[in-house]
Each structure stands twice: as structure tokens, then as C-alpha cells.
Amino acid sequence: MLTRRDFLAAAGALANAPAQNQQKRNVLFIASDDLNHSFSTYGHPFVRTPNLDALAGRGVRFDRAYCQFPLCSPSRTSVMTGLSPDATGVYDLRKHFRESVPDVVTLGQTFQKNGYFVARTGKIFHYGNPGQIGTDGLDDAPTWMRRINPAGVDKTKEEPRIINHTPGRGLGSSVSFYASPARDEEHTDGMVAAETIRMMEEHRNEPWFLGAGFYKPHCPYVAPSKYFDRVPISKVKLIPFEEWELTIAPKWAYWTQPPNFGLTEKQRLEGMQAYFAAILFLDAQVGKLLDALKRTGQEERTTVVFWSDHGYGLGEHGQWMKQTVFEHAARTPLLMAGAGVKARGQACGRTVELLDLYPTLADLCGLKDVPASLHGKSVRPLLENPKAAWDRPAVTQVHRNQVRGYSLRTERYRYSMWDHGREGEELYDYQSDPRELKNLAKTSGLRAELQARLETIVAARAA
């Protein structure tokens, strides 16, 4: 029989449970799709993103963050498993990682084991954009306790109205756009924001990890027309390109054929304007999430991560989109702010990888039973001091049929090898050559050192 003392102890434990939960840090995990650095947080002159600017002002902006593979599914799989593409076996948009590593414990599963409510709205793992909007796509059910798949007018009504400047390509890999008359809330990304906020409110009294997976600025570049108005085409400038640039690197380094998809200058300008408009639309949705955190009183105990699965080309080297190891595709935006981030409004020039997100969040949130096999490293020291000592290069890879390309990025250099150098090499010095116009692979004494370092990392991560 329970004594009065037992009853009071049990009642006290129940009363204190919410307070104990509130001491745990939440994680708002905001993913964008195909986003490069063309916004004001990273210095763009007229693509003004006040909400992302404000987020960076509360935390750390990483200036040298890199993806593992500049393609949606391989990259996102690496983020969520903490393993390189060679370990997951995911190199395309079809294979699911559990075919290769069925027992891997994902980031979401580790948070679940630590007592968190773990859910996502929209695209965190891969699914075809726009083809699979509204479905689970290539998601991983064990990672989540709840999954929400909205589909807005951009998917359900407006696809027939989209202008496609590359009609031979499907919408998911096209230079195509539409200035929509519909309100933000009617679009898929507007719904992603609304559903994430709803879960944020419903679970405010327990620790949570919420993935907000936005679909923009991935093509087709569809956004409410007001965002197009904010980036007039008269301000858009083409990225310089000359045909001789295609001789700088081995043929495997280039993906877009023909260069710029054969677009006219006017078509390129229209594509760029629409891409910028989609970024502004994305920023507005991020702002809604940040406002909700503050309104619900959860801002100070929530770690916010904003990332993209890779970068995106708009004509650099005549290349569009992704699937290269040039800087425009391998480099990705990364912002971290809020709980656990001591540095405020600072930029970090250290080289980090998206693989580092899993161990970093586990570290910040004090999680237990974290897999020992993670390939990344916690960047917590850089969240305290962005100039702290750090000597970890980033590795990005792509596949060209049977030829594999691996690229190592340090703070100053990039070395790339194709079929371990048998199909060619690249070496760029970004201090003197930020546009990657001088391939130093045949003349620099650094080549052998960087190749050896890259080979060591590749072998270790494939083991």
C-alpha cells in the first residue's frame, strides 16, 4: 500500500516532469533544397534575406561548409546517417540507404532514444521535387515519430503554367519558373512552415527535434509574384563564362551539356531572377518559424540549424545546378544559432562538412548512445570561438558513369582527382584564383601532399 510519503513523492515527480523536459534543448532543423550563397547573409547585393540575416546575427555563419555529394539523396543520406556516400552506398536518387546499411541509427533515431519527440514536415531525406511532393518519397520511417507531406498549389494546380526554358528536361532538372498569383500559405513551402509551427506549439512542453524541409529554391522556380517584383531583372547580371574554361579541367569535371544548356542570355537572366525570387520566398517562410519560436517562448532553449543539401550553379564554368565538385556545387550555406551557440553574429572561415551536423547536435544536446562510427566531428568549439584551431578538410565526391571524382577542400586549396588521378586532376588556389580558372595540378608541389591526404580519408570512410 502506498504511504502518504510515497504519494507525495510520486506527485512531485510528475509535477516536475515538464520542467525537466524543458531543460533539454530543442532542435529546429531547417533544410533548403538546392540553395547556393546568392543571398544577403553571404553578401549578395540585392537578394535581401532579412530573416536569414537575423538568424546569422544570433549565431555563426559558416563560410566554408561543404556537402559530401552534390546531389539530393546522397547528400541528405550522409547528413542523417553521419556516414559518407561510400559507406551508405547511395550515389543516385533511387537507392535507399537501408539496402546497404540496414541497421544504421539515424540522427532522428538517436534523438528518439533520448526522449525527444522527433518529426518532420516536407523534405529532409530525398524525394523527387516536384514529382513526389505530397508523398513520403525516399524517406526513412524509423527516423520519425510523425511525418507530414503537404502539397500546395505549386504542385496541384500550377505546373501546367510553368515556363520551361529547357523543354527537353523534366521539371525536376530544368531552368523553369512561374510567378504565382497565389498567397504564400497556399504553396507547399508555406504549408511546411505552418505544419512545423503547429507541431512546435503542440509539443512545447516536451523536448523536440523538428525537421522543416523546404522545397525551394529547387526548380521549377515557382514563387508568389511579389518576390519576383523584389528582384527586378534589370539588376540581375550574368555570371562570366567563356568556352575556353571547359579546357581547364578533365572532361569529367563538367556536367551541364551543352554549356548553359544552350540558353540565350535572356533565358539565363530570367532563370536567375526566378531562382532569386524563390530564395526570397524561402526566407519569408524561415521567418515564420523564427517568429513562432519567440512567440511560444522556446527561442532560448532551441538550437536552430539552417542548411542546404548542396550548392547550385547559375552559369559558373557554363554549369547549372549541381553534380560537380566545383566550389559552386560543393559549398553549401550553413547557419547555427540559439541554444548552445555562444558566438553571436560571427563568421567562421574554418572548413566543415555536413557530416559534422550529426555529432554536433548530439554534443550540444548531451545525447547518449550516439553511434561511434560517425564520420564527422562536433563543431562545438567553432560555435564558441569561430577562429579556434581546426584542421579538418572537407571531402566531396561525384560519379560519372564508372569514373569517380573525389575532391578535398582545405581553407585555401581544392584538389580533385578522377579515378584516383588516372582520369585527370585539378588543383585550385582560392586565395589567388577564386573563380577556378588556373588548374595547378601539374605544376604545384602541393599536389602529392593533398592527394595523399584525400586518399587516406576516402579509404577510411569506405572501410
Residue 403 domain-assigned (yes or no): no
The conformation of residue 339, written as its DSSP 8-state character, comes to: T
CA–CA dist 457, 367 (Å, integer): 27
Residue 243 domain-assigned (yes or no): yes
- pLDDT tens track for 115-132: 999 999 999 999 999 999
Measuring CA to CA, how many Å separate 285 from each of 184, 188, 209, 289, 311? 8, 11, 18, 7, 20
Residue 449 domain-assigned (yes or no): no
329 touches 317 (CB < 8 A): no
Q: Rounded mean pLDDT of the chain?
A: 95
Look at residues 32, 107, 26, 28 and name the one whose alpha carbon lies nearest to residue 307: 32
- pLDDT tens track for 20-51: 444 799 999 999 999 999 999 999 999 999 99
Examine the pLDDT at 1 and tell me if it is beyond 70: no
* 217, containing H or E segment: strand 208-217
Examine the pLDDT at 157 and tell me if it is beyond 70: yes
Residue 405 domain-assigned (yes or no): no
**Residue-level pLDDT at 15:** 41
- pLDDT tens track for 395-428: 999 999 899 999 999 999 999 999 999 999 999 9
How many other C-beta atoms can be found within 10 angstroms of the C-beta atom of residue 429? 15
**Residue-level pLDDT at 8:** 40
What's the alpha-carbon Rg for the chain, to the nearest Å? 22
33 touches 129 (CB < 8 A): yes
For cell 584525400, the residue is 454
- pLDDT tens track for 421-450: 999 999 999 999 999 999 999 999 999 999
For cell 561548409, the residue is 65
335 touches 60 (CB < 8 A): yes
Examine the pLDDT at 62 and tell me if it is beyond 80: yes
CATH, residue 40: 3.40.720.10
Percent of the chain's residues with pLDDT above 70: 95
- pLDDT tens track for 352-381: 999 999 999 999 999 999 999 999 999 999
Q: How many structural domains comprise the chain?
A: 1
Examine the pLDDT at 341 and tell me if it is beyond 60: yes
Instruction: Indicate the range of 14-23, 209-218, 235-244 predicted with least confidence.
Output: 14-23
Whole-model pTM over 0.85:
yes
Residue 439 domain-assigned (yes or no): no
**Residue-level pLDDT at 23:** 77
Judge residue 419's burial from the number of C-beta atoms within 10 Å of its C-beta, 0-12 exposed, 13-18 middle, 19 or more buried. middle
Residue 9 domain-assigned (yes or no): no
Residue 80 domain-assigned (yes or no): yes
**Residue-level pLDDT at 18:** 42
Helix H segments across 365-463?
A: 380-384, 447-462
Mean pLDDT of 278-293: 98
- pLDDT tens track for 300-334: 999 999 999 999 999 999 999 999 999 999 999 99
How many other C-beta atoms can be found within 10 angstroms of the C-beta atom of residue 329? 29
Q: Which structural domain range is residue 107 located in?
A: 24-394
C-alpha dihedral, 294 to 295 to 296 to 299, nearest 10°: 0
Residue 352 domain-assigned (yes or no): yes
The answer for residues whose C-beta is within 8 angstroms of residue 256's C-beta and 6 or more apart is: 313, 318, 319, 320, 321
